[in-house]
Amino acid sequence: PGLACDSGSAAYVMYTSGSAGTPKGVAVPHRAVHKLVVNNGYVDFTADDKVGFAANPAFDASTMEVWAPLLNGGAVVVLDQDTVL
């Protein structure tokens, strides 16, 4: 309540690798997440999909594992570390 949010608002903050020194936080807007995972032209996610969440959440690949199923009506299956390894 009372929070304004639009497609340009930050969805989350991802940190750079820090190759130039200290890692820096980059605010990723909602529109970037949506463009990546909804009607993107290279992979279709549906409400029937269950996607395993195995990536480190600090790794940008986790964006696809989490948001693709959720924004397309599917489910995220959190895998325990022993299953991933």
- Give percent of the chain with pLDDT exceeding 90: 58
Give phi and psi for 34, each to the nearest 5: -60, -45
Q: Cα separation of 51 and 48, whole Å?
A: 10
Whole-model pTM: value is 0.78
Look at residue 85 and tell me whether its pLDDT is greater than 80: no
Q: What is the DSSP letter of 57?
A: T
- All domains of the chain in start order, with CATH: 31-84 (3.40.50.980)
pLDDT value for 32: 95
Give pLDDT, residue 50.
96
